[in-house]
């Protein structure tokens, strides 16, 4: 069926269903006003049918809007996952939960994205959602049509629950710009390049590595290491988990980890979360807030800021309220801590399997003759930088992300069976974009896209 015929059919269907619903409601009002004497069946049958028709009407109206928007904007329809259950999408939910349990959810999404040419619609527990791995779409979502795609739905709820309503990960528009301006000074180059601070914690980390060849959990130690560094950068006070943590520091880390791992599930429940209170969650939110509040109060009580390179002091200087400072500090710990730990964890996993890469790295670092590098020297370690880029490519710490269409809008790719035409997206649509798949596209990275090959960065210039 051509686009225009489908559009007309959806319009006629919606008009008929809408008319029937309106007529039934009117009829009911008139009958009540006339004090009718009909049997219960005769009196309610028409209204009953109308109630059943309401979701049909909503579906046809939405379909008509999508088809019309597609035609008017010169777009093509996107591929749709062939659901057995197109209403609630329980079929895709089932395979996703199975994949999640096997730690293969990203692989499943990647396989489906390859099957449906980079973009497709699917029903996520009753709500139609888009998923894409098209580079052009990433650019549109995050840059050219950034205003059309704020952070909403699940993504925003998770951030608000764990980090607070002022968090840079929870706000949009002017609030986001305000927050960025507030934290930007903290990122002045010499502040983030406070190598001495990092170095102290590297020593602590190295001291915890067993020397007798015994097995140990590198991932856990890296998360402890980055918690110590992040808190030191944020507050000028480290949790010192690797050396001598206080009871408060351990409680803070336990609470923070719990919140991050459970908040997504809690946000998924939406208003149902009210029916299933999680006392531990609420208690842990308080613990993380109290920990940060304690350090903010201490800083505010000081007349002179002692150490210059502390994020908290820079944010306080901006004139932000106590609540804003707290939400940003928690956000910065999240932003810096888990991403860095996860990236290093992936890096060491690769190095343990690739003696050739390790050898080349060692050769480059040997040029420093045992000396610690300056910031400039660190930047000029060419092979190390390529290895890090390749790690970030294949093991992106933020492997997938989501935005919601604020208004009717168009994505440059995803329309048509080959996914190469523009795609109309109705207001309210959630769009997931997966960096995991984008970074493995063979048409973009070449046939060896799945291979860890740092040398590709000698010539590759991301566009």
Q: How far apart are CA 330 and CA 409, in angstroms?
A: 33
| Distance in Å, CB of 39 to ligand HEM, minimum | 59
Residues in 149-178 that interact with ligand HEM by CB under 6 A: 168
Nearest distance from C-beta of residue 171 to ligand HEM, angstroms: 9
Q: What is the nearest approach in angstroms of ligand HEM to the Cβ of residue 336?
A: 3
Asked whether position 180 contacts ligand HEM by CB under 6 A, the answer is yes
Cβ at position 28, least distance to ligand HEM in Å: 49
Confirm if 3 and 421 have CB atoms less than 8 A apart: no
The closest of 120, 118, 107 to 79, measured between CA atoms, is 120
396 to 415: interface string for ligand HEM, x by CB under 6 A: -xx--x--------------
- Asked if residue 120 lies in contact with residue 113, where contact means CB atoms within 8 angstroms, the answer is yes
Q: How is residue 150 written in tokens?
A: 């704020």
Which residue do the tokens 């006339």 mark? 34
Which of 343/420 has CB closer to ligand HEM? 343
User: By C-beta, is 340 or 385 nearer to ligand HEM?
Assistant: 340
- Out of 124, 289, 340, 420, the residue judged to bind ligand HEM by CB under 6 A: 340
- CB of 17 or CB of 396, closer to ligand HEM: 396
Residue 21 CB, nearest distance to ligand HEM (Å)?
41
Quickly count: other Cβ atoms within 10 Å of residue 278's Cβ. Answer: 14
* 356: Cβ contacts below 8 Å, ≥ 6 apart: none
Contact 238, 232 (CB under 8 A): yes
The CB-of-312 to ligand HEM minimum distance in angstroms stands at 12
Binding string, residues 280-309; x marks residues near ligand HEM by CB under 6 A: ------------------------------
Nearest alpha-carbon partner for 111 in 99, 124, 126: 99
Q: What is the largest CA-CA distance in the chain?
A: 100
Pick from 118, 164, 335, 414: which binds ligand HEM (CB under 6 A)? 335
Number of residues that bind ligand HEM (CB under 6 A): 12
Q: Which is nearer to ligand HEM, 331 or 409 (CB)?
A: 331
What DSSP character marks residue 123?
A: E
The secondary structure element, H or E, covering residue 249 is helix 247-269
Q: For residues 248 and 148, give the distance between their C-alpha atoms in angstroms, rounded to a whole number.
A: 42
Q: Which parts of this chain interact with ligand HEM (CB under 6 A)?
A: 168, 180, 331-332, 335-336, 339-340, 343, 397-398, 401
């Amino acid at each position: 069926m051509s686009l225009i015929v489908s559009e007309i059919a959806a319009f006629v269907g919606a008009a008929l269903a809408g008319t029937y619903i309106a007529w039934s409601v009117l009829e009911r009002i008139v009958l009540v006003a006339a004090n009718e004497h009909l049997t219960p069946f005769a009196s309610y049958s028409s209204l009953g049918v109308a109630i059943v028709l309401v979701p049909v009407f909503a579906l046809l109206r939405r379909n008509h809007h999508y088809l019309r928007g597609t035609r008017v904007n010169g777009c093509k329809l996107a591929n749709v996952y062939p659901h057995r259950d197109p209403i609630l999408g329980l079929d895709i939910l089932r395979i996703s939960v199975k994949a999640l349990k096997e730690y293969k959810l990203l692989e499943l999404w990647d396989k489906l994205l390859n099957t449906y040419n980079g973009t497709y619609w699917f029903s996520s527990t009753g709500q139609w959602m888009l998923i894409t791995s098209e580079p052009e779409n990433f650019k549109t979502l995050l840059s050219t049509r950034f205003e059309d795609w704020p952070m909403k739905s699940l993504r925003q709820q998770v951030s608000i629950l764990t980090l607070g309503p002022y968090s840079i990960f929870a706000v949009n528009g002017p609030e986001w710009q305000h927050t960025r301006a507030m934290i930007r000074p903290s990122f002045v180059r010499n502040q983030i390049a406070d190598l001495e601070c990092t170095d102290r914690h590297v020593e602590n980390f190295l001291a915890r590595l067993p020397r007798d060849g015994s097995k140990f959990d590198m991932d856990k130690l890296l998360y402890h290491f980055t918690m110590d560094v992040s808190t030191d950068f944020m507050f000028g006070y480290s949790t010192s988990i690797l050396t001598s943590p206080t009871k408060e520091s351990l409680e803070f880390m336990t609470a923070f980890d719990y919140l991050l791992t459970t908040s997504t599930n809690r946000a998924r429940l939406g208003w149902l979360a009210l029916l299933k209170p999680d006392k531990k969650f609420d208690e842990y939110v308080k613990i993380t807030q109290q920990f940060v509040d304690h350090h903010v109060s201490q800083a505010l009580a000081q007349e002179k800021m002692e150490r210059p390179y502390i994020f908290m002091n820079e944010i306080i200087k901006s004139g932000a309220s106590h609540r804003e400072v707290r939400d940003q500090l928690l956000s910065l710990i999240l932003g810096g801590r888990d991403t860095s730990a996860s990236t290093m964890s992936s890096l060491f996993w690769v190095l343990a399997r690739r003696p050739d890469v390790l050898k080349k790295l060692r050769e480059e670092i040997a040029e420093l003759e045992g000396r610690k590098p300056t910031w400039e020297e660190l930047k000029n370690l060419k092979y190390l930088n390529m290895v890090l880029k390749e790690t970030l490519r294949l093991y992106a710490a933020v492997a997938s992300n989501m935005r919601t269409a604020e208004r009717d809008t168009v994505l440059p790719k995803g329309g048509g069976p080959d996914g190469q035409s523009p795609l109309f997206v109705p207001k309210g649509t959630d769009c997931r974009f997966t960096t995991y798949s984008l970074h493995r596209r063979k048409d973009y990275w070449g046939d060896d896209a799945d291979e860890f090959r740092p040398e590709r960065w000698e010539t590759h210039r991301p566009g």
